[in-house]
Amino acid sequence: MTRASKGPCIARRALGALAALGAASCLLAAPAAAQAQWPTQPIRIIVPFGPGGGTDVSIRAMAPKMSEFLGQPIVIDNRPGAGSTVGTNFVARSAPDGYNFVHATLSSTGIAATLYSRLPYDPVKDLTAVAPTIYVPLTLCITARGWNVRTAAELIQTLKASPGRYQYGSNGVGATGHLASANFATRIGAEVVHVPYRSGAQTIAALIAGEIHYMHDIYGLLQPHHQSGQARCLFVTAQERTPLMPEVPTMREAGVPEYAAYSWFGLFGPANLPRAIVDRMAAAVNHALSDREIAARMNGMGTPPMMGWTPERFARYVAEEVETWRPLVRASGAKAD
């Protein structure tokens, strides 16, 4: 081949290389363009508990404002099971495209990391922390059906006097209510049987019916039954009394040995969620929580909004909670598998 004849060949090869480079550039630009346009379809938020509980009620209250901010519908999908790990794992295994999130809790992350010896996801590595939603102090409430216990001191005396006779309920093995009630029993030296249900609403119904003797849950969910006399809230686990039930003492005022009993809720996506999507979803959460009516509703349940957190701060907090709860879970003796 002469020098002259090589020219067209080189030119064709150069054009081919440029075309390939252009195609590659388009492929690289496509995800970035998709992120810039996100969202282009409805977004699903998994609630890893049954309907009617605090995790469900709070995110349903926030969803319309989040949808307004994002310009797409938000679909709430209840997927209970295995103490909230079924729904959480679904999102952990989802594609990081911004269309599947989970409204998870302390129990799904910080507690589950130790409670389950074969947890199918790593709460820190397999999830992207987007934003916390609300902080959840708890109250211990007892049944009023056929039970004359009226104070924390009487409850402790009754439970310790009859090992294995009484039951406490929760919305699933490993749920915050489970660990709070187990920690309470451990701290007072009582043997009490755990009865798990599929949702907070079912647990409260069981308490009212007298099927279980005590439980822990959000102030706002138990306060109506306390007021009606169907149940009795004996103390709150926060450092101060709640305006919702000002007559109910703190655990310290009630003379109860202090134990860990709180939760928080937050939004998570799968690992490797693009930063642009994380930031926009976090902004949607804060947009909802800053709405005056929604903030009033959250505070009305005794669960103050956790506004203004960056995704980095939330991710650090989740990692710290895993370490904080590791010795507490082990000390409680609770196991889920």
Residue 168 lies in a domain: yes
Does residue 160 sit in the same domain as residue 231?
yes
Does residue 120 sit in the same domain as residue 153?
no
d(CA 139, CA 296): 20
> Per-residue pLDDT for the chain (337 aa), expressed as one digit of tens each?
444 444 444 444 444 544 444 544 544 444 555 556 999 999 999 999 989 888 999 999 999 999 999 999 999 999 998 888 999 999 999 999 999 999 999 999 999 999 999 999 999 999 999 999 999 999 999 999 999 999 999 999 999 999 999 999 998 888 889 999 999 999 999 999 999 998 889 999 999 999 999 999 999 899 999 999 999 999 999 989 999 999 999 999 999 999 889 999 999 999 999 999 999 999 999 999 999 999 999 998 889 999 999 999 999 999 999 999 999 888 877 787 7
- Give the DSSP letter string of 213-231: SEEEEEHHHHHHHHHHTSE
Residue 173: give the domain boundaries. Answer: 137-236
d(CA 187, CA 180): 11
d(CA 67, CA 288): 9
pLDDT of residue 96: 98
Contact 100, 270 (CB under 8 A): yes
Quick check: helix, strand or coil at residue 328?
helix
Contact 221, 301 (CB under 8 A): yes
| Domain final position from 186, 221, 236 | 236
pLDDT of residue 335: 80
Does residue 131 sit in the same domain as residue 141?
no
Does residue 270 sit in the same domain as residue 311?
yes
- Pairing verdict, β 100-105 and 43-47: parallel
Residue 50 lies in a domain: yes
Q: In the structure encoding, which two tokens stand for residue 293, read together?
A: 């009516």
d(CA 253, CA 267): 34
Does residue 123 sit in the same domain as residue 267?
yes
The CATH number that applies at residue 285 is: 3.40.190.150
pLDDT of residue 328: 87
Does residue 127 sit in the same domain as residue 198?
no
Does residue 271 sit in the same domain as residue 228?
no
pLDDT of residue 181: 95
- Pairing verdict, β 262-270 and 214-218: unpaired
Residue 244 lies in a domain: no
pLDDT of residue 28: 47
Does residue 170 sit in the same domain as residue 119?
no
| Domain final position from 236, 252, 270 | 236
Residue 318 lies in a domain: yes
How many domains would you assign to the chain?
2
pTM over 0.85: no
The CATH number that applies at residue 226 is: 3.40.190.10
